[in-house]
A and B are shown apart, each in its own frame.
Chain A
Amino acid sequence: MSAAIAATMPRAQHRASLRKRLGRVGFSAAVLVLAAIVLLPCIIIVLTAFKPVAEVNAHPPTLAPHHWTLDNFRAIFSDLPFKRLFLNSFLFAGGVTLFALIFDALAAYALARLDFRGNRLLLVVIVASLMIPFQATLIPVYQLVAHLGWVNSIQGMIAPRAADAFGIFFLRQFFISLPRDLDNAARIDGASEFRVFWNIVLPNAMPALLTLGIFTFINNWNDLLWPLVFITDPKLATVTSGLTMLTGPSGIVPFGTMMAGSLVAVAPLAVIFLIVQRRFVESIATTGIK
């Protein structure tokens, strides 16, 4: 069928469409090369992680390992309490995500749906606090947690992050966009405010909660400064702060071990991201526009 059409097509037109298709392929190939260059650091992490030490430290350097090995992965578990670091990261990032979602959702719901005095003002204050650099309040936060006797503990790490202004703002925007008729109907039926929130608003807000949750998880998993200043006991470090301990006092960096550690550190995030990437990327995009 298509061959028949092609045959009846005037030759010039046929040639033009061929040129167009070649143009597309050429353009796409050029972008592919560009993307590969941009992603070189990611590629180097993966390939170096599987290189034997001699190749990691060889000159001239090579891209891919000649001889693939798992030695670097064994080394991170012997040089660092890596299993423990991994668990800490999960507890810290997971704990923050869980609490922040609950508290942010409650606060956002109150701001979006309940008419109380000072509602607008509170919203303005919360949005303004988005501009406060975390570093500016780092020291008093540290002192406050120290007062609670929570230095060098997972709960001390989690507490200051258990609610955040961005999450409240983000969820409020989403709750506002939900139709009010739904919860009004439930209210007329005599449902309590909490039931309206729990049974009607929350289930409808799942996509927003998912995005915020992943965002919070990634940010905390990757955070360096907070675990670095807050945790002095190496056993309680996170994967991200723990990896910086690999650099010896001499300043010599064991790159092979470090790349293997980095790969393992990124792996859970990459898996989560690849599963939900479409929705995640779309939600970021919409927050950016609003």
Chain B
Amino acid sequence: MLPALVILGAFVFWPMLAALRLSFTESSGFGPSRWVGLANYSTIFHDPKILKTLGITAMYAVMFTPTAIIVALLFALVLTNKALIGRGAFRTALFLPFIVSMAVAAFAWSYLLDPQLGLLNYWLSNVGIHLGNVLQDPRLALPTVVVVAVWKSFGFYMVVFIAGLQQIPEDLYEAARIDGAGRWRRFVYVTVPQLSTTFAFVVVFATIAALQAFDQIYVMTGGGPYRHTQTVVAEIYSQGFKKLDLGLASAISYVLLLITLVLSLVQFRFFGRHEKDVVG
């Protein structure tokens, strides 16, 4: 017990307080830091460049979370369909992207989407879709890094959905069938409500993951073009470890922390209430 508490205390709880203190100072990590009060926070809310990173992260989350969940749920439904031959093999294969690091996934996608060398670009241009240089395109760069994230992580959510689907008692479907419910109505009135706990877990975790997007952006775009993919964490990295403005970076971190906490609590509330509706 004690060693774990010491480590959590030293590397999770203490740093939280230290980050809070740091966020009220001007510090480069070398020499003494100077107390500046709320100056760093005021910078965040007055610097349009930093504010925009919040907007970009929000856009990222709005694109990532629903897409990842829909893709994962669709695959989970297909892979639990008894008509499918080789369900286990498919499950293993589609889970593979999850064990590949985001950095490696980013290399592979960069190559596939390269305007000259990319196979995907070439194939799509053969059917009349000319993507151009997506990573340099201000409109397409953000959706592209979202696609990479969805590709890498949907397998995890898919497996969680599969487990949720397997928990649904068969007689519920039987009863619905007797009542004359078609495929779609069975999905809406049996599957979706029965999966509410699973949805809560997946939505909260996917949102937290989206708010922390960094790896593939670092590899694929470096935040560009013109900061169009500069997410909050990318900004923390460049302020803290490139420009060595530790105070400002910590303040941004705290804003991110608060957003994460509030969003998670709201989502848990929402899904918690929804669950009660279903049971009661």
Contact = CB atoms under 8 A, between A and B. Distances in A.
Partners in one complex: yes
Interface of A: 23-25, 27-28, 31, 35, 38-42, 44-45, 48, 56-63, 102-104, 106-107, 109-111, 114, 125-126, 129, 131-141, 143-144, 159-165, 168, 218, 221-225, 228-229, 240-241, 243-244, 253, 255, 258-259, 262, 265-266, 269-270, 273-274, 277-278, 281-282, 284-286, 288-289
B108 A259 contact: yes
Contact of B84 (A27, A39, A241, A284): A27
Interface string B36-80: 000000000000000000000000000000000000000000100
A144 B129 CA distance: 52
B253 A135 contact: yes
A168 B4 CA distance: 9
Main SS class of interface, B: helix
B261 interface: yes
Main SS class of interface, A: helix
B96 A222 contact: no
Q: Which 5 A/B pairs are nearest by Cβ-Cβ distance? A: A285-B163, A222-B101, A107-B4, A288-B160, A140-B18
Contacts of B83: 23-24, 27-28
B126 to A, nearest CB: 9
A31 B22 CA distance: 52
Given A135-B233, A270-B99, A285-B164, 8 more contacts: A27-B81, A38-B151, A39-B97, A133-B260, A139-B253, A144-B15, A144-B18, A255-B110
Contacts of B105: 41
Contacts of B1: 106-107, 109-111, 114
A133 B117 contact: no
A229 B4 contact: no
B215 interface: yes
Contact of B95 (A24, A135, A144, A281): A281
B90 A244 contact: no
B252 to A, nearest CB: 9
B173 interface: no
B261 A131 contact: yes
B125 to A, nearest CB: 9
A159 B116 CA distance: 44
